[in-house]
Amino acid sequence: MADTTSPQPSTSDAVDWESLRLRAVELMERAYAPYSRFRVGVAGLVDDGRVVAGCNVENAAYGVALCAECGMVSELHATGGGRLTAVFCVGGDGQALMPCGRCRQLLWENGGPRCLLMTPEGVLPMSAVLPQAFGAEDLRHAEG
């Protein structure tokens, strides 16, 4: 089951948001988006200090496209796991982009309610970005 109690930065001030944004922009520039031409990059701070990142990767079978967040979460697990504590997703203009609904679920699974997300309206916790989220706790409650 996902651990939702890992240490988090106490405040948004503890996060170097500009470094995360610059890493997300680097990844956005490597996006493979020949079909939509909509490039996305994302970078996430892990609770052990690592930074993981990803870009979107599209496919001629359009529905197979991988969002940038998928790549980031894959790097998270491939490099040792841990919990996301702060995430910055950018579009082609290098500015904050809201993750799609599916990717908010990915962030919830791997960061939990206190994971911070940079949004166009400033930093928000995932509890505000995905209210009443479905998560591991719900599976436990459903056990009969």
DSSP 28-53: HTT-B-TTT----EEEEEETTS-EEE
Q: Contact 61/107 with Cβ under 8 angstroms?
A: no
**21, 47, 69, 111: which one contacts ligand THU (CB under 6 A)?**
69
The answer to whether residue 130 forms part of the interface with ligand THU (CB under 6 A) is no
Shortest Å distance, C-beta 5 to ligand THU: 26
Shortest Å distance, C-beta 104 to ligand THU: 8
Shorter beta-carbon distance to ligand THU: residue 3 or 26 = 26
Q: Contact 41/55 with Cβ under 8 angstroms?
A: yes
Residue 77 token pair: 């697990």
The yes-or-no answer on residue 69 being catalytic is yes
**Among 1-9, 35-43, 74-82, 127-135, the segment contacting ligand THU (CB under 6 A):** 35-43
- Residue tagged active-site, from 69, 121, 137, 143: 69
How many residues make contact with ligand THU (CB under 6 A)?
A: 13
Q: Contact 24/53 with Cβ under 8 angstroms?
A: yes
The answer to whether residue 26 forms part of the interface with ligand THU (CB under 6 A) is no
For 123, residues 6+ apart whose C-beta sits below 8 A from its C-beta are 12, 15, 17, 116, 117
Shorter beta-carbon distance to ligand THU: residue 46 or 103 = 103
Per-residue mark of binding to ligand THU, 44-63 (x: CB under 6 A): ------------x-x-----
The answer to whether residue 36 forms part of the interface with ligand THU (CB under 6 A) is yes
Separation of alpha carbons 29 and 40, rounded Å: 8
